[in-house]
Structure 1
Amino acid sequence: MAKGRRKKHEEDHVDESWLIPYADILTLLLALFIVLFASSSVDVKKFQMISQSFNSVLGGGTGVMEYPSPVPPESMKDGEVEEGSKKETSGLGKQDRQELSEMQKNISKYIEKNNLQGKVQTALNGEGLLLRIRDNVLFDSGVAEIRPEEIRSAREISRLLEMDRPRNIIISGHTDNVPIKNANFDSNFELSAMRAVNFMKVILENKNLDPRLFSAKGYGEYQPVASNRTSIGKARNRRVEILILPQGEKEMNGKQAG
């Protein structure tokens, strides 16, 4: 009799083991919708909060969403640079930032007054005040000498560098990633360096500038500001830059020179 009751009790008990995989599926679906929602309108802070919740739901371990930005670094296009990540002013002291910001305003006024908007752009970054000039403003393709008709533009740009408190200035040349090999240059390094030097020579025709505060560098294609996969990106990468350093940098270099 007892055996019969036990058998009947086992038959009445429903197997609920299917609930475990069902709950897992629901959890994964919820996580999927969270990811889809986050991807549709990315807000960095919200994305990080969502990613933390997502990883907690899946067990609290390190998950695929744990990246410092919404796009994993390895998924970025070849040569692509996030300008925001390089152009922060956090590397500048408060006084330097204020002084360079004021200088940027004055330079912007000069640029507008002399119709140089299409030739020179300015930006503050963690190193100092940057003036950027597209290479086609000054140079023909594959050539390091400034076009004769643009010498005047270069001289006008030199007046932007006249300051009450002189600072160290670095002029750098940059190219896209298209290889170059002609009678004059074996590499983009050489082309970019000679463009920087030749541009600096014209700048220093301005006798109000101190040559001891200037230096020239060539970076070739190795400091792009855009993807080299498009013609627009390549055009942005072909440039000459003038970096005006903070006052503290001038003083430090002056001490080293002494």
Structure 2
Amino acid sequence: MARRRKHHEEHGNHEAWAIPYADLMTLLLAFFVVMYAISSLNEGKYKVMAQALTSAFGGSSNKASPVQLGKTQSLGADYDRPSVIKAGAPMAASNGPTDPTLLPSMAAQMRMPVSLRNQAQLARAQRQMDAVEQQLSKALAPLIDKQLITIRRNDLWIEVEINSDILFGTGSATLAGRARGTLSTLAAVLREAPNGVRVEGYTDNQPIATAQFPSNWELSAARAASVVHLFADDGIAPQRLAMVGYGEFRARADNSTEAGRNANRRVVLIILADSAGSLAPDPPSQLNATAAGAPKLPKSDGGQTAVTTESGTSSVPAVIQGVQ
């Protein structure tokens, strides 16, 4: 019997790989053509496009230069604007408080007139402040010796701190009899000077809740107002006067002791450096209870000054400026 011859399958198309290979080569060729086209950039068209983009984003088209030269990169028109402080301009030294015992808040509150930036004007104002300080030290010498009044000096103001125990009774804003003589002595010195005067009232942390003084804010503001009214009555121009009530929130000593509470109950006069008859600076913007050009405060029973305050947070004092 004859053997059956095996049937071999026909071989497949072994040239099929050539088609995807040709496609790949075509893609690579197209890729290199595109790369070559990009490398041969038309400089004129590129500048036009750069100027158009700069103008579209708010710059000046004639200042755009996006081409980097060495290590220097020009970043466009916005970087060519002059700064407020020009290069090489001398920086003026700060005139902040030099005495650590001065109120730290005053440095931020002081806004000196532009004319004081003139050195000659500043020197003249400082000589005038020296004269005021000498007159105050001489007139108040007995109380200074008893440590009831403290005078501190800064380049921009004089601080006269008066212990409120010699001015007011406990929980009262009515000036004591001897207080009027002390304040009138102060007024006699300040009446002839052109300086603005800021009167600041402070209390200890002992709570007070009466119909007249719902809190220490009202009490401190009323005490400052009493001093302002006496100064106005003694001939100091009301336009030069300002008052602030800080309440218990600017303590200088520990309220847990009697001595500390006594130190915290105080009235402070800030006598500002004058420049060509400048007035006291406006209170800072963070003090939101302000009444500019307020009329004369009404008097309540017993002769005390009734003051209404608007307190937003525990750090905001009551302010009344320009009492007439």
TM-score under structure 1 length normalisation = 0.57
The alignment's C-alpha RMSD in Å is 3.1
- SS in structure 2 opposite 1:161? helix
> In the alignment, does 2:224 pair up with 1:196?
yes
Question: Compared with structure 1, are the counterparts of its residues 221 and 125 closer, same or farther at alpha carbon in structure 2 (3 Å cutoff)?
Answer: farther
Q: CA deviation at 1:150?
A: 2.9
From 153, 158, 163, the counterpart of 2:182: 153
Q: Determine if the alignment matches structure 1 residue 178 to structure 2 residue 206.
A: yes
Post-superposition offset of 1:254: 8.7
Q: Which one of the candidate residues 232, 235, 244 is aligned to 1:217?
A: 244
Counterpart among 63, 87, 101 of residue 83 in structure 1: 101
Q: 1:254 to 1:215 in 2, by over 3 A?
A: closer
The 1:247/1:236 distance shift into structure 2, 3 A limit, reads same
Which residue of 1 is the match for residue 196 of structure 2?
A: 168
Residues 126, 203 of structure 1: alpha-carbon distance in 2 compared, 3 angstrom cutoff: same
Deviations 1:33-91 (A, max 9, x none): xxxxxxxxxxxxxxxxxxxxxxxxxxxxxxxxxxxxxxxxxxxxxxxxx62684999x8
Task: Report what 1:75 is aligned to.
Answer: none
Structure 1 CA distance for aligned equivalents of residues 185 and 176 of structure 2? 15
Q: Offset at 1:215?
A: 1.2
Kindly provide the CA deviation profile for residues 119-158 of structure 1, in whole angstroms up to 9, marking residues without a partner as x: 4221124651011111100100000111234322222221
Structure with more relative contact order (C-alpha pairs < 8 Å, separation 6 or more): 1
Q: Deviations over 1:99-124 (max 9, x none)?
A: 42342122101212xx3324422112
Q: TM-score, normalised by structure 2?
A: 0.46
Q: Find the partner of 1:107 among 136, 148, 160.
A: 136
> 2:185 and 2:158 mapped to 1: Cα distance?
18
Higher radius of gyration, 1 or 2: 2
- Structure 2 distance, partners of 1:135, 1:125, is 23
Q: Distance in 2 between matches of 1:129 and 1:216?
A: 16
In structure 2, distance between residues paired with 1:132 and 1:213: 19
Structure 2: unaligned runs, 5 residues or longer: 1-99, 117-121, 283-291, 293-324
| 1:139 corresponding residue in structure 2 | 168
Question: How many angstroms apart in 2 are the aligned matches of 1:248 and 1:127?
Answer: 11
Contact 1:88 1:124 in 2 (8 A): no
Cα distance in structure 2, aligned partners of 1:97 and 1:213: 18
Distance change (3 Å), C-alpha of 1:230 and 1:240: same
> Which amino acid in 2 is paired with 1:221?
E
Deviation at 1:186, TM superposition (A): 0.8
1:190 is displaced (CA, Å) by 0.3
User: What displacement does 1:222 show?
Assistant: 1.6
Q: Partner of 1:155: helix, strand, or coil?
A: helix
Equivalenced residue count is 170
The 2-side partners of 1:213 and 1:168 are apart by: 5
Q: 1:116 to 1:84 in 2, by over 3 A?
A: closer
* CA–CA separation in structure 2 for the residues paired with 1:253 and 1:176: 27
More helix by share: 1
